[in-house]
Amino acid sequence: MQLITKRKEIFIYGLSMALLLVLLKWLEAHFIIFNYRLDIFVGAIAILFTVLGIWLALKLVKPKVETLIIEKEVYIDQPANKEINQKEIERLGLSKRELDVLNVMARGLSNEEIAGKLFVSLNTVKTHSSSIYLKLDVKRRTQAIEKAKRLNIIA
Amino acid sequence: MQLITKRKEIFIYGLSMALLLVLLKWLEAHFIIFNYRLDIFVGAIAILFTVLGIWLALKLVKPKVETLIIEKEVYIDQPANKEINQKEIERLGLSKRELDVLNVMARGLSNEEIAGKLFVSLNTVKTHSSSIYLKLDVKRRTQAIEKAKRLNIIA
DNA sequence: GTCAAAATCACTCAAAAGTATGAAGGAAAA
DNA sequence: TTTTCCTTCATACTTTTGAGTGATTTTGAC
């Protein structure tokens, strides 16, 4: 939720508050309720503002987020001596998500399987794939995997 | 959050409400506030219950799901030597030509490029590819390359 | 608050990969 | 001499991948 939206919410709340106080004034001036049913009136106010508070809180609170599960097969002797080359990743300009895709791709999964594993659509995986090939300057996924392993940007 | 906990929250809220109404009654009985500052009193009630509502909502609302990245590491034994494992090749029943294809394939060449390099037709490469996948028990060329490297049947 | 990059997804078209089946010649083995 | 396996290739069909374009939303930095 954006800051602007939050402010709007607060504004609506303030407005409700103001309107209610005006209403209160009016009622007070006309001696309609207060003379004998004050407790009920205050109870109504309480309930109303409780609901308003709940609504406010639900609106203001940041919802979400989702879980990302990446299964990683690790072979005992191979990755021991090789560390991920962070500088190379930076140099190539690979984003986090692209690295995610690249890692799962290197396990031999299809785009559809990658999509399922990363909780995105097939189209998204394709988009990431394409930009990976572009950044790695390769033509195919097999080359991308080969080069990525060679440059130690994936395990 | 558990159901019991929620009930406790609701109970606390109800109790606060009741206490406040009692307080209200008492104030009403003693004519302390209402005669001339009713609006301020109601305003205070409103604010109080707004806060209560917010508190209630925050307590009751299901806790935010945090971004959870689980890297499930599967350790797999692997022969320490990095030489071509001839026995594995035999065990899998891979033929010479299939190994040829597999090796070129692992460099990231397309089937057409492989065909050109081995002086055979595209269809032949496809046939070899298919039987490679069958013998390696994989579904795609990326998996075949990955497995072949893991089993040291190619460099 | 603005701006740029990153991430998301859709849609289309083309190319590549993969499946299935059949077939023919050759070499090695039974 | 059959039989079997390897190699080669074809045709037909399906699936996957990749290129290109465009759009929206989120995020983060300034």
pLDDT at A54 over 80: no
In this complex, which residue's CA is closest to the C1' atom of nucleotide D27? A2
pLDDT at B119 over 90: yes
Beta bridge partners of B69: A68
More confident residue, B54 or B101: B101
Beta bridge partners of A73: B74
Q: Count CA within 13 A, CB hemisphere, residue A139.
A: 5
Pairwise CA distance, residues A83 & A86, whole Å: 9
Query: pLDDT tens digits, residue range B8-24?
Result: 455 555 565 566 666 66
Contact B38 A24 (CB under 8 A): yes
Mean local confidence (pLDDT), A15-33: 60
Percent of chain A with pLDDT over 70: 48
Encoded amino acid at A35, one letter: N
Chain A and chain B share a number of CB contacts under 8 A equal to 177
Pairwise CA distance, residues A48 & A16, whole Å: 10
Mean local confidence (pLDDT), B100-107: 95
pLDDT at B142 over 60: yes
What value does the mean pLDDT of chain A take?
A: 73
Question: Least CB-CB distance to A53: which of B39, B49, B146?
Answer: B49
d(CA B92, C1' C30) / Å? 23
Burial class (CB in 10 A: 0-12, 13-18, 19+), B130: exposed
d(CA B111, C1' C15) / Å? 12
pLDDT value at residue B15:
60
pLDDT value at residue B83:
77
Nearest to A149 by CA among A77, A80, A82: A82
pLDDT at A86 over 50: yes
**Any idea which of A47-61, B4-18, B26-40, B91-105 has the lowest mean pLDDT?**
B4-18
pLDDT at A55 over 60: yes
Percentages helix, strand, coil for chain A, rounded to the nearest 5?
65, 5, 30
Mean local confidence (pLDDT), A142-151: 95
